[in-house]
């Protein structure tokens, strides 16, 4: 299993990589990938960080864990590779985007272009066993990504944090909302969205308005 992470992140995170919990996590992940099918591929585990470097971060969108079906997970929260059918949550994200900014529903579900503009598409857990959702939770990934969220909050200014659903909202204690914008809503999954907790949140326009106020280039949400 080949894992790659950009040197800029490696330098920032080297202290975390040397902690006992992370070394134990690495052993667990290696064993999981060696003995069974896991997602995403090893080279894509840190894709969110590789496409969105520390100096470029404008927005953090927190997901829970990767998609667990074939040809879905590629290291970016909510995103799927080009040509893959859109999962229900992504469908609802695109519907809200269309309603909020009048951007036509895209054929492409690959959100890499968002990441390259400074949107950190971070899952709380970065790996999963095939067809077994949440199978790699509680193994150490959450400690790592919590550290990352807190570090971004402490070391940067004027970041938009998108917290969708109860799991993501629990991370609010890691974020200094006196110097960042925190946008909360229900999760875009059908269960939440169909109960009225997702549609109409207008997070995409609110995000760009805030970035403009901070003299940062807004996100081009078109795919």
Task: For the beta carbon of residue 192, count every other beta carbon within 10 angstroms.
Answer: 19
Task: For the beta carbon of residue 142, count every other beta carbon within 10 angstroms.
Answer: 17
CB burial of residue 122 (10 Å; 0-12, 13-18, 19+): buried
Provide the Cα torsion 8, 12, 16, 17; round to 10°.
Answer: 20
Residue 65 catalytic? yes
The C-alpha angle with vertex 134 and arms to 66 and 77, in degrees rounded to 5, equals 20
Residue carrying structure tokens 């971004």: 152
Strand partners, 182: 161
Cβ(170)–Cβ(149) under 8 Å? no
| Contacts of residue 51, Cβ cutoff 8 Å, sequence gap at least 6 | 76, 112, 115, 116
- Main-chain phi, psi angles of 31, to 5 degrees: -65, -40
Candidate list 31, 34, 65, 110, residue with the active-site label = 65
| Contacts of residue 97, Cβ cutoff 8 Å, sequence gap at least 6 | 103, 204, 221
Name the residues annotated as catalytic.
Answer: 65
């Amino acid at each position: 299993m080949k894992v790659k992470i950009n040197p800029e992140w490696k330098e920032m995170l080297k202290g975390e990589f040397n902690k006992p919990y992370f070394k134990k996590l690495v052993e667990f992940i290696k064993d999981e990938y060696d003995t069974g099918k896991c997602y995403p591929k090893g080279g894509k585990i840190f894709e969110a960080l590789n496409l969105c470097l520390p100096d470029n971060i404008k927005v953090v969108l927190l997901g829970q864990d990767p998609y667990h079906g074939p040809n879905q997970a590629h290291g970016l929260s909510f995103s799927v590779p080009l040509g893959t059918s859109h999962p229900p949550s992504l469908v609802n994200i695109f519907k809200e985007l269309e309603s909020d900014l009048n951007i036509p529903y895209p054929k492409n579900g690959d959100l890499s272009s968002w990441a390259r503009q400074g949107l950190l598409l971070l899952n709380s857990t970065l790996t999963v066993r095939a067809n077994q959702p949440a199978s790699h939770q509680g193994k150490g990934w959450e400690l790592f990504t919590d550290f990352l969220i807190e570090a971004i909050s402490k070391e940067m200014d004027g970041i938009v944090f998108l917290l969708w659903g109860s799991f993501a909202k629990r991370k609010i204690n890691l974020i200094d909302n006196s110097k960042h914008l925190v946008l909360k809503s229900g999760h875009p999954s059908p269960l939440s969205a169909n109960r009225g907790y997702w549609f109409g949140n207008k997070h995409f326009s609110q995000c760009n308005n805030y970035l403009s106020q901070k003299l940062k280039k807004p996100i081009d949400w078109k795919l």
